[in-house]
Amino acid sequence: MSRREEPVDVVVVGAGASGGAFTWSIARQGLKVVCLEQGGWVTPETIPSLLPQWERARARTHHPNPNVRKNAWDYPIDDTDSDISPMLYNAVGGSTIHWGAHFPRLKPSDFRVRTLDGVGVDWPIGYNDLAPYFEINDAMMTVSGLAGDPANPARGPRPCPPVPLGEGARRIAEAYNRLGWHWWPVDAAILTKDHGDRLSCNNCGPCDLGCPRGSRTSTDLAYWPEALAAGAILRTGARVVKVTSTPGRVTGVDFVDESGELVHQPAANVVLAGNGVGTARLLLLSAEDWCPSGLANSSDQVGRNLMFHPTGMVTGVFDEDLSGYAGPFAASIVSQEFYETDRSRGFVRGFQAQTIRSDGPLGTALGGYLPRLPWGNRHHEQFSSQFGHTASITVTTEDLPDPNNRVTLADTLTDRWGVRAPKISYRVEQRCRDTIRFGIERNSEVLREAGAREVLSIPLVSSAGFHLLGTARMGADADMSVVDANCRSHDVPNLWVIDGSVFPTVGALNPTSTLQSIALRAADALAGRELAEVGGDIV
């Protein structure tokens, strides 16, 4: 060991959605906190949507799959045994650097699936425990939308008005109205009015590449400036390779810095925010003689119960030009008509139907929302009929915890420092496939009602592994879960997990609003406690 840093109250691993929110809160509560992030800052001028080759960038350097883009600060993921490929980003801001910013909250029933529907497990907390944190987080993430949705509990006025629908979503909304189905403009972490030096959205389209205007909120914009101003220290290019421990207590972390030097960061509390893959990997990498199957893993639940939200997609092709490439691609309207369980459908739990706009020229040709366009003599005719003429609806389902769906350590694959990569084993359960089939049928009706000439579907979008959840779940029973209701490890009281790994079940909604609110609540739990009680001395 060549270098040892000054001890701190809290070291956070990962500066993404949860790590940013947590560090902001803990720094404002006066604790000495260092966050270690393997990636760096993403600067607005490097965002590809400013460049002529922006669509090429999406297929290469800015692909959401780290195995494709292979940036130096990425780690590879063995997904050869998975029905779904993981998508994530490693940087200050984490995966919110690439996200679509759709910002729903889990619903009250999502926290009680065992009680209500006899499947999965109940959470040890409920919607009301998170309600105040949802509101704080919505303000920090500058959410646009509209209060008053009858499919969700009441919430405060949204900081910004809804994003514009565009022609495709408007037609779909009218179709929902004619069918008498629920829809609502999405809550989106997208500015629809200027906010400080961040400009309102100008509907350029590809939010997934980043937003040079700063309209689409990511945590590098929303949380980090204030966290740093409150005294938090953020080290980039710092890949944590191990959480160090003595029996029953963590002592800090070892990380490799940008020069390749191994550094020890002692801390009274270690907080993991590396997402459902990165955190499980780190816990497994941190095995010692006293915890041979991995840190905090006496329950054997670390890495298990991986959940992704299996997703299908249905796309309508319209005769009219909808200019579907205009507007934030993932944010317009959502229908929760079929969200809550109705046993007459033949399956429990439900799905979210999220309207998606269409793609740029290359995206249209390569396919994704639709099959790839044919090559040869029919190519141009098909391109003209589809480009700008489509609108899609994703059918997002709720996968339930299955111990065989899991993150383990790869046998031979390693990152550039020779540290074992994570391996994902994952199968989509039949209930999700049935739900998707039902969802595609019902939303095909919607698209036809909206005037689509042709409706095509994809029964499983295998590249939709955007939500990495469940691999260090919270629970009251220490034999069946990794952390307690406050995100504190059952085995190691000064170790905390605060990212989407802690979800016991996942609802059928994008998770980031909920996981950030959990992180904010965990920060209060950690700061509100006598730190001695959680095992560490305040420095």
Partner 1 sequence: METLSDLQKTLLDALVPEHGDIPGAGSLGLLPLVMADADDEPKSRALQVISAALPDDFVDLSSLQRESLLLQIETAYPNEFSVVVNMVFTAYYCDQRVLDGIARHTGYNPQPPQPKGYQLPAFDEQLLQPVRESPPRWRTVD
Given the rule CB under 6 A, which residues bind ligand SF4?
A: 190, 201-205, 207, 211, 213, 215-216, 328
Closer CB to ligand SF4, 390 or 481, in the complex: 390
Indicate which single residue of 77, 91, 121, 173 sits in contact with partner 1 (rule: CB under 8 A): 173
Closer CB to partner 1, 104 or 276, in the complex: 104
Is 91 among the residues that bind ligand FAD (CB under 6 A)? Answer: yes
User: H helices within 217-304, ranges in order?
Assistant: 219-222, 224-229, 275-285
Indicate which single residue of 11, 36, 165, 253 sits in contact with partner 1 (rule: CB under 8 A): 165
Work out what residue 531 binds among ligand FAD, ligand SF4, partner 1, none; the CB cut-off runs from 5 to 8 Å by kind.
none
Closer CB to ligand FAD, 15 or 495, in the complex: 15
Work out what residue 77 binds among ligand SF4, partner 1, ligand FAD, none; the CB cut-off runs from 5 to 8 Å by kind.
none
The strand pair at 8-13 and 262-272 is best described as parallel
Is 204 among the residues that bind partner 1 (CB under 8 A)? Answer: yes
Work out what residue 208 binds among ligand FAD, ligand SF4, partner 1, none; the CB cut-off runs from 5 to 8 Å by kind.
ligand FAD
Is 39 among the residues that bind ligand FAD (CB under 6 A)? Answer: yes
Work out what residue 510 binds among ligand SF4, partner 1, ligand FAD, none; the CB cut-off runs from 5 to 8 Å by kind.
ligand FAD
Nearest to 238 by CA among 266, 262, 257, 216: 257
What is the DSSP code (8-state) at residue 361?
A: H
User: H helices within 255-378, ranges in order?
Assistant: 275-285, 361-366
Is 217 among the residues that bind ligand FAD (CB under 6 A)? Answer: no
Is 59 among the residues that bind partner 1 (CB under 8 A)? Answer: yes
For residue 423 the two structure tokens come to 């391996």
Across the chain, which distance is largest between two alpha carbons, in Å? 73
Q: How far apart are alpha carbons 272 and 278 in whole angstroms?
A: 9
Indicate which single residue of 22, 75, 369, 387 sits in contact with partner 1 (rule: CB under 8 A): 387
Is 375 among the residues that bind partner 1 (CB under 8 A)? Answer: yes
Closer CB to partner 1, 112 or 195, in the complex: 112
Q: How far is the CB of 451 from ligand SF4 (least distance, A)?
A: 25
Indicate which single residue of 40, 76, 108, 459 sits in contact with partner 1 (rule: CB under 8 A): 108
Contact 209, 54 (CB under 8 A): yes
Q: How many residues does the chain have?
A: 539
Judged by DSSP in three states, 50 sits in: helix
Which range, of 16-24, 50-58, 405-413, 530-538, touches partner 1 by CB under 8 A? Answer: 50-58
Q: Which of residues 224-263 bind ligand FAD (CB under 6 A)?
A: 238-240
Is 397 among the residues that bind ligand FAD (CB under 6 A)? Answer: no
Is 363 among the residues that bind ligand FAD (CB under 6 A)? Answer: no
Q: How far is the CB of 216 from ligand SF4 (least distance, A)?
A: 4
Work out what residue 362 binds among ligand FAD, ligand SF4, partner 1, none; the CB cut-off runs from 5 to 8 Å by kind.
partner 1
Q: How far apart are alpha carbons 522 and 91 in whole angstroms?
A: 22
Beta-carbon neighbour count of residue 170 at 10 Å? Answer: 17
Q: Taking the C-alpha atoms of 470, 475, 478 and 480 in order, what is their torsion angle to the nearest 10 degrees?
A: -50
Indicate which single residue of 8, 11, 12, 13 sits in contact with ligand FAD (rule: CB under 6 A): 13
Work out what residue 107 binds among ligand SF4, ligand FAD, partner 1, none; the CB cut-off runs from 5 to 8 Å by kind.
partner 1
Nearest to 456 by CA among 519, 534, 371: 371
Q: How far is the CB of 145 from ligand FAD (least distance, A)?
A: 13
Q: How far apart are alpha carbons 508 and 42 in whole angstroms?
A: 30
Contact 94, 14 (CB under 8 A): yes
Indicate which single residue of 28, 69, 112, 437 sits in contact with partner 1 (rule: CB under 8 A): 112
For residue 478 the two structure tokens come to 């220490």
Q: How far apart are alpha carbons 488 and 100 in whole angstroms?
A: 30
User: H helices within 66-124, ranges in order?
Assistant: 66-69, 113-117
Beta bridge partners of 333: 185
Q: Name 155's Cβ contacts closer than 8 Å, sequence gap at least 6.
A: 105, 134, 135, 138, 147
Position with the least CB separation from ligand FAD: 16
Q: Name 29's Cβ contacts closer than 8 Å, sequence gap at least 6.
A: 523, 524, 527
Contact 326, 446 (CB under 8 A): no
Quick one: CA dihedral 39, 45, 49, 51, positive or negative?
A: negative
Work out what residue 90 binds among ligand FAD, ligand SF4, partner 1, none; the CB cut-off runs from 5 to 8 Å by kind.
ligand FAD
Work out what residue 190 binds among ligand SF4, partner 1, ligand FAD, none; the CB cut-off runs from 5 to 8 Å by kind.
ligand SF4
Vertex 112: Cα angle to 108 and 115 (nearest 5)? 135
Residues that bind ligand FAD (CB under 6 A): 13-19, 36-39, 64, 87-91, 94-96, 98-102, 208, 238-240, 273-275, 278, 282, 330, 466-467, 499-500, 510-512, 515
